[in-house]
Structure 1
Amino acid sequence: MENRYLREAQKNADQIIAHRRDFHKHAELGFNEFRTAERIAAYLQSLDLEVQTGIAQTGVVGLLRCVEAGKTAALRADIDALPMQEKNDSSYASVNEGVMHACGHDGHTAMLMETARLLASNAQNLRGNVKFIFQPCEDMIPSGAEPMIEEGVLKNPDVEGIFTVHVSTGHPEGTLWVKPEYISISSAGFKCTFAGQGGHVSSPHQVIDPIMMAGMLITSSQTLMLKRSAPGTPMIFAFGTIHGGTADNIVPDEVTLTGSIRTATPQELRESIEAFKRIVAGIAQSVGGEYSLDIELQNPSIYNDPDMVSLLKSAGAKVMGADKVFEYSQIRTGGDDAAFFQQKIPGVYWVLGVQNEAKGFDKPHHNAYFDFDDANLALGAAVQAQAVTDFLTKDTG
């Protein structure tokens, strides 16, 4: 028998897609999602929800109070776009120069708006409360999750479980992917500057070469850092930028490198950072140079509560069929600041497949040609609504 939430969402598919494409066309960067927030708030108000705006600058929260008292669930969607120039020529391509929804947050936002509609229309049959959290600035550091938490989005009423979905063009459309316990990596960014003594390239004995130090770091760190991880354990160590020098016959005084360290768990990240510090210090000392090293912790690993995972998988099977529900065998190497919410309360972060190669929807995230099959958003909204319904009714007699 067809799931009632799926049936209702599919009836409203045109509006869901229209919302998503409107957000895509008018993409806004983190903490500047003013138009986006205004439209979200207006829609939630039309559903007679209690609405708060201006949380963490541009965040929006809707609260649904059901007829009977009970637990409180939350769902979270990120609403920001990326600082990229879109290269698609679709009718809904971004009109804002240098700003693009290249990670699917427009879809997350439209899905959560539809989930709010589905649950609001069924509130008379539910008990408890539901918070709909529309978070600004997920894709930049510092991000919006921690400020929202600090401003009390998980309080009044106190949230007992949270759900977050992310679309993926790396998975076939209409599939659900999840993993208990750790599902994403922990990450840190670094900026390392080597300082030496510049001079003419014809007099290497009179200089302390920071370019050589940078080269030593790139080669040695790749080997030493990656050997720290056990076979099958994800670890990424990558350099993103390197800057130094002004001419081909001048040894510069300094060179600066930036990059990222990503590990499976917070503990492994702490250990890797300490190892990296020793490598940098050893290189500078070996050639008589100096260094400065700044390391910024970014997103911790997302921990999925096993009971919440089981509940989500059950809800997914009810909506899309058990044959469409899959469990990752390994941790995902991407990160998300949803981790901060799930450090506070039990939660589940899951992935909705939106890949459709026949339509050309298979470009990777953060690509200038990224797009996805938004016909799947009704399915995602229905899964979210079913999961929250099951959460609110579980163990309530």
Structure 2
Amino acid sequence: MDVCQKIKGLAATYAPEFVAVRRYLHQNPELSFQEHNTCAYLKEQLLALGVTDIESVAKTGLLATINGSQKGKTILLRADIDALPIHEQNNTAYASKAAGVMHACGHDAHSASLLLCAKILLELKDDFSGSVKLLFQPAEELSPGGAISVMKEKAYIALGTIPHVGQHVRPDIPVGKVGFRSGKFMASMDELFLTVKGKGGHAAMPEKIIDPVLIASHIIVAAQQLVSRMADPKTPSVLSFGKVIANGAINVIPNEVSIEGTFRTMDEDWRKTALEKLDKLVTTMAEAMGGSCELKINHGYPHLKNDSTLTEDLRILAKDYLGDENVVELDQWMAAEDFAYYTQKNPACFYMLGVGNVEKNIASGLHTPTFNIDESALEIGGGLMAWLALRKLSV
């Protein structure tokens, strides 16, 4: 039996164990930078599998090592472990027990898949040379993200430049399929906080006030020029404002208005320029209308760029494992991911694992209170990661 068939057999045999692991994690989610119990549980699982080379990274993360029969190359496989501040609305036996906290982005599935991958790799230690690093990374969901902290750790720095592979669930891809994209794949993301100041007063006497609500309205509309008239049309850019607070009343104009939003793009030079232009635009517009505006920027993750050579290699290997018809080409995605930091320093590939199943009514989007996965995807996710790692180590 060849290695591919061995992996498929092991994945099928052991997957039910890791469905249980995924459900435990789903029931017991923890927010970014707070994953203490999650980390302890994952360490227990690794030790139970027989993985003893485990180092703590970024306080609540783990970096484990599985060595083959001989020395050789090294590859890193990453799963994120944190949850989101969302109250789950699924009526399942394994729904979140933590009020207002939910694994709504599939990090429970990422962790369970990587543990299944670890079990498969341990069974096949005699069939490969080299080392597989298993990174269970905290705090992907909250800027500045856990990746930055991991990359400062001595254990990580000692790895040097090695291939990094990350897998992420996507409910809009049917279970059984995976998706790849070479080059620029995901966007940078900066958080924007604007405070528009004026002079409040009675709504019936506009001549005696400087209306920050009106100023804010003009700013929101005018700021879209960044995308419509200042950005290169060939450069993906998204500017969105999702929160506006003008805490007045029907007959009360407030002194100030707060606006929050994000700016996303896939070009770091344009990113810097756009934010400078936005600052100038909102400041001068507010001043021209008699008020003022302060812009604070929380600089988030850079854009994620998949290494073309590694990604094309993994795409071919995925087709060998799943069949040509089950490997799809992805569009660029304007979501952001702190795996992007790894892609700046290493040959890296971040690909998508299909978990949707319309027939089972599993189709809710990421970051929604009804998000769920078809758990048969865990067998595919764990097996595929093991296959990709072993094949890359052998080349």
1:355 aligns with 2:353: no
Matched to 1:341, the amino acid is: Y
Aligned to 1:339: 340
- 168-177 or 221-230: bigger deviation: 221-230
Give the whole-Å Cα distance in 1 for the aligned partners of 2:188 and 2:154. Answer: 24
Contact 1:225–1:276, Cα closer than 8 Å, also in 2: no
Q: Deviations over 1:55-94 (max 9, x none)?
A: 2121011111222111111000000111111011100000
- Out of 64, 67, 81, the position equivalent to 2:66 is 64
Contact 1:305–1:346, Cα closer than 8 Å, also in 2: yes
- Out of 17, 27, 44, the position equivalent to 1:15 is 17
Give the whole-Å Cα distance in 1 for the aligned partners of 2:154 and 2:35. Answer: 20
Contact 1:164–1:350, Cα closer than 8 Å, also in 2: yes
Give the whole-Å Cα distance in 1 for the aligned partners of 2:285 and 2:129. Answer: 62
Aligned to 2:321: 319
Query: Superposition pairs for residues 28-67 of structure 1, below 5 Å?
Result: 28-67=30-69
Give the whole-Å Cα distance in 1 for the aligned partners of 2:268 and 2:375. Answer: 34
* Closer, same or farther: CA 290–173 of 1 in aligned 2, 3 Å: same
Give the whole-Å Cα distance in 2 for the aligned partners of 1:310 and 1:14. Answer: 31
Give the whole-Å Cα distance in 2 for the aligned partners of 1:228 and 1:5. Answer: 51
- Out of 271, 285, 289, the position equivalent to 1:283 is 285
Q: Secondary structure of the equivalent of 1:366?
A: coil
Contact 2:143–2:300, Cα closer than 8 Å, also in 1: yes
Matched to 2:298, the amino acid is: E
Matched to 2:132, the amino acid is: V
Contact 1:44–1:51, Cα closer than 8 Å, also in 2: no
Task: Give ranges in structure 2 of 5+ residues lacking alignment.
Answer: none
Aligned to 1:265: 267
Q: Deviations over 1:338-380 (max 9, x none)?
A: 0111112111000011110010110011111110101111111
Give the whole-Å Cα distance in 2 for the aligned partners of 1:234 and 1:172. Answer: 26
Equivalent pairs counted in the alignment come to 393
Give the whole-Å Cα distance in 2 for the aligned partners of 1:142 and 1:52. Answer: 24
Give the whole-Å Cα distance in 2 for the aligned partners of 1:109 and 1:182. Answer: 25
Q: Secondary structure of the equivalent of 2:296?
A: strand
- 108-117 or 199-208: bigger deviation: 199-208
Matched to 1:356, the amino acid is: N
Give the whole-Å Cα distance in 1 for the aligned partners of 2:362 and 2:342. Answer: 30
Matched to 1:158, the amino acid is: G
Query: Superposition pairs for residues 79-118 of structure 1, below 5 Å?
Result: 79-118=81-120
1:136 aligns with 2:123: no
Matched to 1:82, the amino acid is: L
Give the whole-Å Cα distance in 2 for the aligned partners of 1:158 and 1:124. Answer: 25
Query: Superposition pairs for residues 146-225 of structure 1, below 5 Å?
Result: 146-225=148-227
How far 1:196 sits from its partner (Å)?
Answer: 1.2
Give the whole-Å Cα distance in 2 for the aligned partners of 1:211 and 1:81. Answer: 35
How far 1:202 sits from its partner (Å)?
Answer: 2.2
- 134-143 or 150-159: bigger deviation: 150-159
1:364 aligns with 2:365: yes
Matched to 2:107, the amino acid is: H
Give the whole-Å Cα distance in 1 for the aligned partners of 2:109 and 2:155. Answer: 22
Aligned to 2:247: 245
> What percentage of residue pairs aligned between the two structures are identical?
31
Contact 2:84–2:103, Cα closer than 8 Å, also in 1: yes
Q: Secondary structure of the equivalent of 1:208?
A: coil
Contact 1:185–1:263, Cα closer than 8 Å, also in 2: yes
Contact 2:175–2:376, Cα closer than 8 Å, also in 1: no
Q: Secondary structure of the equivalent of 1:42?
A: helix
Q: Secondary structure of the equivalent of 1:91?
A: coil
- 284-293 or 80-89: bigger deviation: 284-293
Give the whole-Å Cα distance in 2 for the aligned partners of 1:147 and 1:55. Answer: 8
Give the whole-Å Cα distance in 2 for the aligned partners of 1:88 and 1:242. Answer: 30
Give the whole-Å Cα distance in 1 for the aligned partners of 2:55 and 2:42. Answer: 10
Contact 1:72–1:158, Cα closer than 8 Å, also in 2: no
How far 1:158 sits from its partner (Å)?
Answer: 3.3
Matched to 1:355, the amino acid is: G
Matched to 1:291, the amino acid is: C
Aligned to 1:377: 378
Q: Deviations over 1:227-255 (max 9, x none)?
A: 33444643221112111233222221111
Task: Give ranges in structure 1 of 5+ residues lacking alignment.
Answer: none
Give the whole-Å Cα distance in 2 for the aligned partners of 1:118 and 1:106. Answer: 19
Give the whole-Å Cα distance in 1 for the aligned partners of 2:208 and 2:52. Answer: 70
Matched to 1:58, the amino acid is: T
Aligned to 1:226: 228
Q: CA RMSD in A?
A: 1.6
Contact 1:226–1:237, Cα closer than 8 Å, also in 2: no
How far 1:317 sits from its partner (Å)?
Answer: 1.1
How far 1:223 sits from its partner (Å)?
Answer: 4.2
Matched to 2:346, the amino acid is: I
Give the whole-Å Cα distance in 2 for the aligned partners of 1:195 and 1:3. Answer: 66
